[in-house]
Amino acid sequence: MDPDARDPFTSRSERLESILGELEGVAVAFSGGVDSAVLLHAARAVLGSRAVGVIADSPSLPRRELEEARRFAAGIGAELAVLATSELDDPRYRRNDERRCYFCKSALFEAMAAWAGSRGIATLAFGEIADDRLDDRPGAAAARERGVRAPLSEAGFTKEDVRRYAREHGLAVADKPASACLASRIARGSEVSAEALARVELAEEALKSLGLRQLRVRDRGSLARVEVGAGELDRARALAPRLGVLLEPLGYADLELSAYVPPAERRPAGSGNS
């Protein structure tokens, strides 16, 4: 077959296997999202027990996400190290400006490096994909500064590729909505605190109990700006009175409903929360 006529996904998958196969071992920064899940699965398939996942445990990680990450790793037979990180101790992180993600990822990679070093694992990796390079991502800058590899991006994997890989391999995250840490719900310039993160987590858990799948509760003081998937907006509007009842005990006196719009579609690159 003419190489140029091959399915690009097949070529990228082979490239990913080749990149991973060159490593003696790898610690994968695993968030529980589809990109890092695909990377961990692929690394496990190529390297076996020499590929391990590492997840940062802090107040910005919902307990639901941590448990789902544990189940996913166990389901593919991968070791998952849960490392406590202390980004909230860093005033630069708490300040919550456009570099918040840089300080968060710096804390993660520093914790990973120490852990991996103790295990004799020389390579760290994270789930950046090719699409991410079109955006200004402070977290990616933290990775580059520390020599953290991005095998999916290096292989040219796109958002469509990671979803296809997940579907073809029967991964539980194949249709999981995009997610982001709880700190992304706090308005830029408003301090990130453990209390604010806990309030957002409680709010989202309460609303998910109504069956809403894609959900963000943006904390704006007494206002909760609730964003749901475009296909769920009509249902959320019908549920608005119940949403208000669930949010009021958490200190949200007012409710605003809107459709969730991905960051790349609603703002200039790198200028807002996810």
**The pLDDT value given to residue 269:** 43
Average pLDDT over residues 245-259: 97
Domains of the chain: 3-168 (3.40.50.620), 182-266 (3.30.1340)
pLDDT of 8 strictly over 60: yes
Close Cβ partners of 26 (under 8 Å, ≥ 6 residues apart): 20, 43, 47, 50, 51, 52, 121, 123, 124, 125, 149
Structure confidence by residue, pLDDT tens digits, 105-115: 999 999 999 99
Structure confidence by residue, pLDDT tens digits, 77-91: 999 999 999 999 999
**The pLDDT value given to residue 67:** 97
pLDDT of 5 strictly over 70: no
**Mean confidence (pLDDT) of the chain:** 93
Give residue 132's pLDDT band: very low, low, confident or very high (50, 70, 90). Answer: confident
**The pLDDT value given to residue 6:** 76
Structure confidence by residue, pLDDT tens digits, 140-198: 999 999 999 999 999 999 999 999 999 999 999 999 988 889 999 999 999 999 999 99
